[in-house]
Amino acid sequence: MVMDELAASLEAVLFAAGEPVTLARLVAATEADQTAVTGALAGLKTQLRHRGIRLVTSGRHYSLATAPQAAAAVGRYLGGGARAELSKPALETLAIVAYRQPLTRTQIEQIRGVSSDQTIKNLLLRGLIIESGRADSPGKPLLYATSVKFLEHFGLSSPAELPPLDQPAAGRRSSPA
């Protein structure tokens, strides 16, 4: 299969799936080898960079999502308007999970200094975090990681696009010494 044809097939499969698809399923669907599929996915990601949709990657899962600059128009079309705001505790917990994933509830609570049960439940219900396995420690506690929906919500293609922790937020000014 020629690379452009493979990229077109991958785009069609991801569009039809409507949910994250594993690399293994994409390989099986296209009957191409894994190296060709990963190469075609990289090319597709580049092709979609300036369009209304993006290729979103989370681990070995791939999906198509609305480009951040088109989210408002899509929201108006669907009647959803602006996305529901996240609370400060939810944003704090989400940031901890995003930068330290995977981690347990106890690890989140140690960093935050407060109980995070309800916040974690709310983030799970919203689909912004997922249970990603169990820790190899006594009691085998659940591990949490960000989801593909998290990437879509924040307009990211992969967790690697998160800004560095030492980079100040846009518009924030440091106080004079």
Name the band, by pLDDT with cuts 50, 70 and 90, for residue 31: very high
Looking at the structure of the chain, the number of domains it has is: 2
- Which amino acid type is present at position 21? V
Task: Average the pLDDT over 96-125 and give the result.
Answer: 92
Write out the residue range of the structural domain in which residue 7 sits: 3-70
* One domain for residues 62 and 97: no
83 versus 88: the higher-pLDDT residue is 88
Do 94 and 100 touch, CB atoms closer than 8 A? no
Whole-prediction pTM value? Answer: 0.57
Distances from the Cα of 139 to the Cαs of 56, 91, 119, 120, 143, in angstroms?
Answer: 34, 28, 22, 19, 12
Residue indicated by tokens 């939810």 = 90
Task: Please indicate, yes or no, if residue 83 is contained in any of the structural domains.
Answer: no
Q: Which of 43, 70, 97 is the last residue of a domain?
A: 70
Mean pLDDT on 56-63: 84
Q: Higher model confidence: residue 152 or residue 92?
A: 92
